[in-house]
């Protein structure tokens, strides 16, 4: 029931050990005394327990580069937070050797009202660096992040890509024995990605341990030799990275055959962890490509895309004043709706009501693409929408974001 550092032992050099680890969360469905009282009167549950990890055990040795893979909700990020010490296990034991550093969540350790310079020192201190160490590496951190002219700007004004680049630069310039990375290796343009991979290879050559959580299967195959696949809080595969990727790629959408016009786009969304579709009886999944895209669904997609570094949507925004009469606190996408409404109020036509299940119009989607991607987003909209259909399908949404951020370059549209 603890997270502990391993003592030195010459005969065995594990860097990370999860020993029969279980993690449960207590979820509350009410947020005030009034809601609690009404729930009791209506005989509705006011709380529930969620089992995020169920008796998970694995060991990562020093110098290994290991990928944690799985669909959303499988327990990957929870495992990473346990290793980092952010969370404590409900049962079992988590052991680490040496200094552990890394990026476990976009924005972790950064304050939106502080400048980039101030946040470098704050984040470095959280990661265990002294002020003298940070000052010695400061110029290298700024140079690597490529945001030198904005280093004294408050980070709440940064784009998601700038935000993650700076956080990643701090993490990899820390004196560490183990580096934890959660979904940031695909951030930035191609030159920046190449620089990231070069730095990762440098750390590997120095014998550092690397633990990566990602949905980008091509990326993890480049940097990891071993993969651990998780499903519903349990380890279902632990072996060579090629085998782990093959296990994960067996998850396909039954209603998206290979000859579907938007097959590649939908698969791209899935492999990036932006969608998992609907679980169906018998273990299959559906994407429902021909369904109209709802306003609540686009809010969730935008949040996931921005969290992975795509687009120009700022990570930080004031959500405290956001509320809608038709979006109760227990609504499925309530958090994503507030997130999107705080950042794209004009594109989403935000008023006192959000109309979460209403179909998104093409006019609204064009405005969203412009806010999301500027001129590039406008080019995608012009290329895709030639007919007079009033609404957007889920498949069209997938194609739009795939063309914006995926494999096909914009000039090929």
12, two tokens = 């065995």
Would residue 14 count as lying in a domain?
Answer: no
DSSP reduced 3-state for 95: strand
The answer to whether the pTM exceeds 0.95 is no
pLDDT for position 10: 45
Residue spans of alpha helices (H) in 146-294 = 160-172, 190-205, 217-223, 241-249, 263-271
Taking residues 381-392, report their average pLDDT.
86
Would residue 55 count as lying in a domain?
Answer: no
Kind plus residue range of the DSSP H or E element containing 133: helix 131-145
Given a cut of 70, is residue 86 above it in pLDDT?
yes
> How does pLDDT run across 152-177, given as a tens digit for each residue?
999 888 877 788 788 888 888 888 89
d(CA 77, CA 181): 10
> How does pLDDT run across 183-236, given as a tens digit for each residue?
666 556 667 778 888 888 899 999 999 999 887 788 888 889 999 998 888 898
Q: Which comes out higher in pLDDT, residue 98 or 258?
A: 98
pLDDT for position 231: 80
> How does pLDDT run across 238-294, given as a tens digit for each residue?
999 998 888 776 656 889 988 899 988 898 888 777 887 887 776 678 899 999 999
Taking residues 314-326, report their average pLDDT.
81
| Structural domain harbouring 335 | 263-412
Say how many domains are in the chain: 1
Taking residues 309-329, report their average pLDDT.
82
Would residue 404 count as lying in a domain?
Answer: yes
> How does pLDDT run across 33-80, given as a tens digit for each residue?
887 788 788 877 777 788 899 999 999 999 999 999 987 778 898 999
Cβ atoms of 333 and 296 closer than 8 Å? yes
Would residue 22 count as lying in a domain?
Answer: no
Give 3-state DSSP helix, strand, coil % of the chain, rounded to 5.
Answer: 40, 20, 40
d(CA 154, CA 262): 40
């Amino acid at each position: 029931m603890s997270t502990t550092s391993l003592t030195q032992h010459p005969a065995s050099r594990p860097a990370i050990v999860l020993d029969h680890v279980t993690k449960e969360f207590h979820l509350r469905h009410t947020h005030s005394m009034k809601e609690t009282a009404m729930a009791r009167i209506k005989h509705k549950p006011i709380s529930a327990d969620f089992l995020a990890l169920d008796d998970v055990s694995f060991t990562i040795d020093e110098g290994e580069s290991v990928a944690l893979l799985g669909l959303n909700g499988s327990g990957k990020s929870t495992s990473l937070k346990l290793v980092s010490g952010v969370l404590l296990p409900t049962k079992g034991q988590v052991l680490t050797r040496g200094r552990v550093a890394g990026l476990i969540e976009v924005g972790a350790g950064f304050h939106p009202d502080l400048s980039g310079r101030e946040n470098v020192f704050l984040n470095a201190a959280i990661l265990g660096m002294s002020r003298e160490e940070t000052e010695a590496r400061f110029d290298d951190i700024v140079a690597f992040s490529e945001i030198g002219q904005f280093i004294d700007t408050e980070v709440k004004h940064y784009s998601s890509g700038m935000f993650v680049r700076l956080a990643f630069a701090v993490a990899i310039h820390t004196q560490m024995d183990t580096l934890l990375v959660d979904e940031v290796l695909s951030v930035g343009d191609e030159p920046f990605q190449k620089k990231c991979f070069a730095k990762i290879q440098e750390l590997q050559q120095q014998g550092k341990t690397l633990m990566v959580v990602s949905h980008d299967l091509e990326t993890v195959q480049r940097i990891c030799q071993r993969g651990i696949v998780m499903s519903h809080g349990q380890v279902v595969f632990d072996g060579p990275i090629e085998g782990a990727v093959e296990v994960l790629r067996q998850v396909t959408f039954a209603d998206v055959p290979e000859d579907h016009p938007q097959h590649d786009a939908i698969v791209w969304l899935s492999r990036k962890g932006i969608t998992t579709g609907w679980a169906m009886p018998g273990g299959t999944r559906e994407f429902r490509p021909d369904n109209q895209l709802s306003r609540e669904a686009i809010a969730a997609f935008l949040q996931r895309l921005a969290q992975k570094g795509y687009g120009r949507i700022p990570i930080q925004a004031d959500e405290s004043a956001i509320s809608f009469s038709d979006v109760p606190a227990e609504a499925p996408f309530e958090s994503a709706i507030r997130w999107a409404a705080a950042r794209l109020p004009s594109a989403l036509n935000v008023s006192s009501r959000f109309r979460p299940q209403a179909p998104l119009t093409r006019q609204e989607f064009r405005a969203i693409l412009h806010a999301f991607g500027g001129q590039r987003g406008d080019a995608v909209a012009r290329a895709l929408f030639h007919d007079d259909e009033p609404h957007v399908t889920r498949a069209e949404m997938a194609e739009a974001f795939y063309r914006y951020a995926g494999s096909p370059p914009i000039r090929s549209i």
